[in-house]
Amino acid sequence: MSKRVVVLMGGFSAERDVSLASGAAVAAALELAGYAIATIDVRRDLQTLIGGLEMAQPAVVFNALHGRFGEDGRIQSVLDMMKIPYTHSGVLASALAMDKPAAKRVFAAAGIPVAEGRVVPKAEVLAGDVLPRPYVLKPLNEGSSVGVHIVREGDNWSGFGEEEWPFGDQVLAERFIPGREITVAVMGDRALGATEITSERGFYDYTAKYMPGGSHHLVPAPLPPQAYDDALILALKAHQALGCRGVSRADLRYDDTDLDQPGRFVMLEVNTQPGMTPTSLVPELAAFAGLSFADLVTWMVENAKCDA
């Protein structure tokens, strides 16, 4: 009898559409690999979710949810209570990674370089500049660059209006790091490789990530050999510092803009629930490492765990 896997997808975060695409791709690949597949489009209804899981009786849940409530430890705690093994990280690592200020403190304690910054009240941002320009404003706990805004030299920008910031009363302000966008996939105890991401939009925002032609992926990242190795080491170190398991993706900036200085990396964040369509960054890097999409998602299912 084939192992039954339930794929959780959709959800009710700002990344719902991305999650639906990830979940559909994962379900199709696992079904072709011989698993018995069911899918649940997760709504804000815990009783229905638990009922659906109890009815399906899965051996494993593949968590294809993205964003808040899907990758911040909350759905993981439900699965732990139900004693159902699931893919990706557990409660604590998921919560830490999703909370950007908390993750930065963990990275800094582990010796991983991070951008200078501080958490400021939204009212302070509305009143004017909170850091010397250029700087970046981010929600504390959103993914996929949702809500990220770069304040540049010469911009006429003078603060967002109330309706433009539905992300709570606090904002993470960070010094803007120039240079190149690098992402590294980690699978278990090894880094699979690094990609450089370029975009004609000038910033790898939500549109650049998910609209056709919005970005270009250079695999492997065209970095100096030592810098490439350093990127992999930092990503694995961040994965371990947070206590991640399964698959994660680390996003870094590589500042090589000063020709008189060696390039340097800054860790931006670790995504514990990276996109999982065949053309997403992690599957693309898995393919570079010799793993098909089916190989990747099968490994994730076979290494699923819970903290029951």
Active-site residue list: 15, 144, 210, 249, 251, 269, 271, 275
Euclidean distance between CA atoms 49 and 293, whole angstroms = 27
- Cα angle 177, 183, 264 (rounded to 5 degrees) comes to 40
Q: Are 76 and 42 in contact (CB under 8 A)?
A: no
**In angstroms, how far is the first alpha carbon of the chain from the final one?**
25
Q: How many CA atoms lie within 13 A of 98 on its CB side?
A: 23
Both tokens of 108, joined, read 């800094």
Give 260's DSSP letter. Answer: T
Cis-peptide into 178, omega within 30 deg: no
Q: Are 288 and 192 in contact (CB under 8 A)?
A: yes
Euclidean distance between CA atoms 198 and 215, whole angstroms = 6
* CA nearest neighbour of 196 among 171, 224, 225, 217: 217
Phi-psi region of 135 (alpha: psi -120 to 50; beta: other; left: phi over 0): beta
Q: In sequence order, what are the beta bridge partners of 180?
A: 254
Q: In sequence order, what are the beta bridge partners of 171?
A: 120
Distances 308 to 34, 64, 81 between C-alpha atoms, Å: 27, 20, 6
Both tokens of 251, joined, read 């996003």
Both tokens of 253, joined, read 């900036």
